[in-house]
């Protein structure tokens, strides 16, 4: 076997890996149903992580739990015949509070175990390695950002993810998001007897909202600034000593988002200045936009076409911690239907689909595309070079 005929080799390896996946399908379905039946919210995915780790160990993966100081994060590695590129499978397994697995993360965790197991069958004939990442708290907690900050993922040549949904698409971007909390401090005074002795912190909040409302007219149409008053004072007859607000600021362009955060800060500072209030700003986690990688999307699309799916690029409105990962290493995120058309994630219909035939069959299609894509990437060094060139060219 030489690297001059990777295409023929890849076709045979794909056949063998997909046969393995078909054979393992009952176990993969069972794992998806088990995780669905035992929903665990972010950073509490103890059973899901344990089940996933156990299954991967059974397929020859070296599994490490509790990576990056996060008890429910895991990394599992299986190496090929020699050193080479690293392809990551980026799984999630957190549920939503109250409703459960209404975002299909059970289908990601289990289906990617299936993909990893199928790849294990052909890795002895491929260079490089496959790495399964169990990333906690996608919904609320940004596990991937914490894992990135603690040095994970950076060894990857490509990161692959699919997400549940009703579409046939790959992600071409999403809105980067920054949330910021603003607290204004004033001086209390009797609102009727001596209001002139007070400094009205609520006025500072209202001035900030008005400043932001004016600013909105001058910002790019695809940016968003939205928020609420979280503290408007305690009593009508007291000039508010403390008032607070929180904003979400979004843009498909991370650099522009940072500029907007600064301009909103100027609105808040101006309001503080005008009212005499003090100001404290506390930024939350910045979720970056998805950095699109055309070469990876093309490989995924070609493999989806083999299964009869015609994929198109889609801009996602929601923000995700996968965005930060995609800024660090070449990443693709795609969706094959795991629920009936029109069903949105985080609904009761999505919850039901995650344990129904439509969800389980869709999950296996997603896993098939992932298996074929990983084989393409490990078998063809030129493909990964193109992936890297695309990554470097995308300047967002």
Residue ranges that bind Zn ion, judged by CB under 5 A: 103
Nearer to Zn ion, 6 or 316 (CB): 316
Q: CB 353 → Zn ion: shortest distance, Å?
A: 13
List all residues 6 or more positions away from 342 whose beta carbon is below 8 Å from its beta carbon. Answer: 166
Nearer to Zn ion, 250 or 294 (CB): 250
Q: Count CB-CB contacts under 10 A for residue 66.
A: 12
Nearer to Zn ion, 103 or 379 (CB): 103
Calpha distance 132→372 (Å, rounded): 16
Quick one: DSSP state of residue 47? Answer: H
User: Could you tell me where the DSSP H helices lie in the chain?
Assistant: 6-37, 46-58, 105-120, 143-149, 201-216, 254-275, 294-306, 322-328, 348-353, 357-379, 381-393
Determine how β-strand 74-79 pairs with β-strand 127-135: antiparallel
Q: CB 99 → Zn ion: shortest distance, Å?
A: 12
Q: CB 9 → Zn ion: shortest distance, Å?
A: 35
Nearer to Zn ion, 201 or 350 (CB): 350
Calpha distance 165→320 (Å, rounded): 15
Q: CB 139 → Zn ion: shortest distance, Å?
A: 7
Give which of 6, 148, 20 is closest to 85, Cα–Cα.
Answer: 6
User: Could you tell me where the DSSP H helices lie in 187-316?
Assistant: 201-216, 254-275, 294-306
Nearer to Zn ion, 154 or 346 (CB): 346
Calpha distance 2→381 (Å, rounded): 12
Q: CB 388 → Zn ion: shortest distance, Å?
A: 28
Angle subtended by helix axes 357-379 and 105-120, to nearest 10: 40
Q: CB 108 → Zn ion: shortest distance, Å?
A: 8
Nearer to Zn ion, 103 or 176 (CB): 103
Q: CB 39 → Zn ion: shortest distance, Å?
A: 13
Nearer to Zn ion, 103 or 332 (CB): 103
Q: CB 141 → Zn ion: shortest distance, Å?
A: 13
The residue nearest Zn ion at its CB is 103
Calpha distance 53→175 (Å, rounded): 32
Nearer to Zn ion, 96 or 379 (CB): 96
Calpha distance 327→308 (Å, rounded): 31
């Amino acid at each position: 076997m030489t690297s001059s005929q990777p295409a023929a080799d890849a076709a045979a390896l794909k056949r063998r890996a997909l046969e393995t996946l078909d054979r393992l399908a009952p176990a993969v379905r069972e794992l998806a149903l088990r995780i669905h039946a035992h929903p665990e919210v972010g950073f509490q995915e103890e059973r899901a992580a344990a089940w996933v780790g156990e299954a991967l160990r059974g397929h020859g993966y070296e599994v490490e739990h509790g990576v990056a100081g996060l008890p429910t994060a895991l990394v599992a590695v299986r190496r090929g015949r020699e050193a080479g590129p690293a392809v990551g499978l980026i799984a999630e397994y957190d549920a939503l509070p109250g409703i459960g697995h209404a975002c299909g993360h059970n289908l990601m965790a289990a289906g990617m175990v299936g993909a990893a197991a199928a790849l294990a069958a052909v890795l002895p004939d491929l260079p490089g390695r496959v790495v399964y990442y169990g990333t906690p708290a996608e919904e609320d907690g940004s596990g991937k950002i914490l894992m990135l900050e603690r040095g994970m993922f950076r060894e990857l040549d490509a990161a692959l993810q699919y997400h549940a949904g009703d579409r046939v698409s790959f992600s071409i971007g999403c809105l980067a998001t920054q949330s910021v909390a603003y607290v204004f401090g004033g001086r209390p005074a009797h609102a009727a007897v001596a209001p002139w002795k007070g400094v009205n912190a609520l006025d500072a909040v209202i001035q900030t909202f008005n400043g932001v409302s004016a600013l909105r007219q001058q910002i790019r149409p695809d940016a968003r600034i939205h928020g609420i008053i979280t503290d408007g004072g305690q009593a009508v007859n007291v000039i508010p000593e403390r008032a607070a607000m929180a904003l979400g600021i979004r843009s498909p362009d991370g650099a522009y988002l940072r500029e907007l955060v600064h301009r909103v800060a100027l609105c808040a500072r101006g309001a503080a200045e005008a009212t005499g209030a003090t100001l404290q700003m506390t930024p939350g986690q910045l979720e970056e936009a998805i950095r699109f990688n055309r070469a990876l999307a093309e490989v995924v699309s070609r493999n989806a076409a083999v299964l009869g799916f015609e994929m198109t690029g889609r801009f996602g409105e929601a923000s995700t911690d996968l965005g930060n990962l995609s800024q660090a290493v070449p990443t693709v995120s795609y969706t094959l239907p795991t629920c009936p058309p029109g069903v949105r994630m985080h609904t009761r219909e999505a919850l039901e689909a995650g344990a129904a035939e439509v969800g389980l069959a869709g999950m296996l299609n997603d896993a098939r595309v992932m298996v074929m894509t990983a084989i393409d990437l490990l078998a063809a060094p030129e493909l990964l070079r193109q992936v890297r060139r695309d990554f470097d060219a995308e300047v967002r």
